[in-house]
Structure formats: structure tokens, C-alpha cells
Amino acid sequence: MAPLAEKALEWLVFLHSGQETDADWAAYEDWRASGVAERKAAEQAERVWAGIGPALRRPRAGLARRSVLAGAGIALVGGAGLAAFLGMRRDLFADVRTAVGERRTHTLADGTRIELDAATSLDLHYSAKTRRIELLEGRIFVSVATDPNRPFIVDAGGGAARALGTAFEISRSGDMVNVVVSEHTVRVCYPRETDGPHVDVDAGSEVEFSRAGGLARPHAADVVSRMSWRNGLLAFQDRPLAEVVAQISRYRHGRIVIVDGELARLPVSGLFESADTAALLDALSAALPVTIDQLPWLTLIRRDASRPLEPFTRRR
């Protein structure tokens, strides 16, 4: 992206921060009208903004200065809208949570150990009869302490994973849930009712469930690679770029946006350090036909027109 267009995007990010004033909007409009190059750069940035913000809140009535963007179909946000746009946490009151880029281990009273990946949150619901936690968002690895009288259950996305004396990973992104088992067996139910559909997932296997797809069949998993995050690594083998971006977002502040939907399916393979997301993004731009623009709180992944998509899409 050209420097002027990057500057225009920086303007837009600030103008939706909730800290902007009428004077700031006037300054942006003055800059936009200061020359042909500035106007074209602003129009390009506004098209990008319109493409990535269709769900954002519309401007309040009476803010006439913002009509230049509203007229282009761009959703404008205040403080709450910016939080959603930047991917900030909605679960501030979770019993246990980690920040972006933070991993840690939480030991429960019964000796069960929960390793939390970055940007993860959960609630605890322990009683005399049941050990139950709810994964609100993110990814955990659980080493369950044996207690035959109290089953251990993880609720997530409308389903549940039930285990006795086992070790497994469960991740949730929205209503998509994945369970990977490294020891013994986990019974996965979806919907959550105990007498509803369920599958038993053995060590070395995984299963997914979601509102759209229901409960899938268990299949073999590369457990070592899938759980490499526990050692500060992110391993991918022909994973779609959209999935890789979702993983990077756990470790990087701000929002990463794939501007061209066709790019979301590009396959990515490699082993990367989760603590160095800048190097990971550089590797993506070198390996794939993409251009990556890094702005304050916003990273854009765009198609590089000088490199064809075909060699990559043919591999799918």
C-alpha cells in the first residue's frame, strides 16, 4: 500500500478510536481535500475500511462531518465499536483468563492442571458432585486429576467434553470447537445433553463440532504439531491462511484483516515462534502472493498482483 494510503488508514483508525474530536474530523477532511493524490489515497483507504467494517456501528445522527464516509457505506464506531473492530476482549469477568500473547498454567483445587493459550478465558463451576468448566474463548490443555466420583466436563460452544483421568486439548473460536486427545478417551457431546449425539475420541484423534456443521466424526490428529503452542511454537501443515491468521491474532494486539476473500484459502506450512509475530508475517509475505501492510492496531493482508495465485490454489 502506498504511503499516502497508509496515512489515510491511520487517520481512519484514529477517527474511530472514541477519542476523536470534531477538530480531528475537520483536519482529516482538510487533508483529504488538499490534493488529488490525497483524495485518491483517502478513497482507497475508505474502500478498504468499508470492506472490513460492514458490521460496525453506524454514526450517530447529527454528525455531519462523518457523512463523507457514511456516504461510501462505511460503518463508523465509537468506543464500544472500536473494541469489537480491534478484537478486544469481551469476557473481562471470566474466572480465569490470559491476555493477548500470554500463556500460563492454572492448577485447580483437585490437582487438575489447565494450560491456557494466549487470549483464552474460562469460567469454573465446581461442586461436590461435578467438576465443570466453561471455555468461553481460546484454547486450553487439561491434565485431569482422577476422581471417579466427580466427572470432569468442559462446556464449549453448546457442546461438552467429558473425561475421567485423561489429558486433552479443547479450543473454541466463536461456536467452532475442536477437541484433540493425547491420553485415554474423551466423550464429546453435541448438543450438550448427555443423552444426545456423542462420540468417543481416543488418544491420537480429534473431533470438531459447530452450530453449522454439527458433530463430526473423529479422525487422526498430529498431536505433537497441534499442541506445539504449549512450547511457544505454531505449527501448520497446509492450513488455510484464515486459520493461520486466527492463531496469530492470539499473540498480536490489534486486528489482522484478509482484504481479499480468495486469499483466505491459501495453504500455509511451517513452524514459527509464537512470540515473534512480525517474523511470521514477514514469512507469509515472502512465501505467498500477498502484501502485508502493518499499521497501528491494524494489519492488512492484500493480494500481490505481481505474483499469481494459481500455483497455490492448484494445491487445494
| SS3 of residue 67 by DSSP | helix
Q: Say what the pLDDT of residue 141 is.
A: 98
Q: Say what the pLDDT of residue 9 is.
A: 78
pTM, two decimals, is 0.75
As a whole number of angstroms, the distance between CA 213 and CA 111 comes to: 35
| SS3 of residue 85 by DSSP | helix
- In this structure, what DSSP letter does residue 57 have? P
Q: Say what the pLDDT of residue 53 is.
A: 54
Q: Say what the pLDDT of residue 8 is.
A: 84
The dihedral over CA atoms of 58, 63, 67, 68, expressed in degrees to the nearest 10, equals: -110
As a whole number of angstroms, the distance between CA 83 and CA 299 comes to: 16
As a whole number of angstroms, the distance between CA 58 and CA 21 comes to: 17
Given the C-alpha cell 473423529, which residue does it identify?
218
**Whether 279 contacts 241, CB under 8 Å:** no
Q: Amino acid identity, residue 11?
A: W
Q: Say what the pLDDT of residue 72 is.
A: 41
> Going residue by residue through the chain (316 aa), what tens digit of pLDDT does each one get?
677 877 887 788 778 766 778 888 889 999 999 999 999 988 888 877 776 654 333 344 334 344 444 444 433 344 445 544 444 445 678 999 999 999 999 999 999 999 999 999 999 999 988 899 999 999 999 999 999 889 999 999 999 999 977 899 999 998 899 999 999 999 999 998 767 789 999 999 999 999 999 999 999 999 999 999 999 999 999 999 999 999 999 999 988 988 888 899 999 999 999 999 999 999 999 999 998 988 777 888 988 888 888 777 655 5
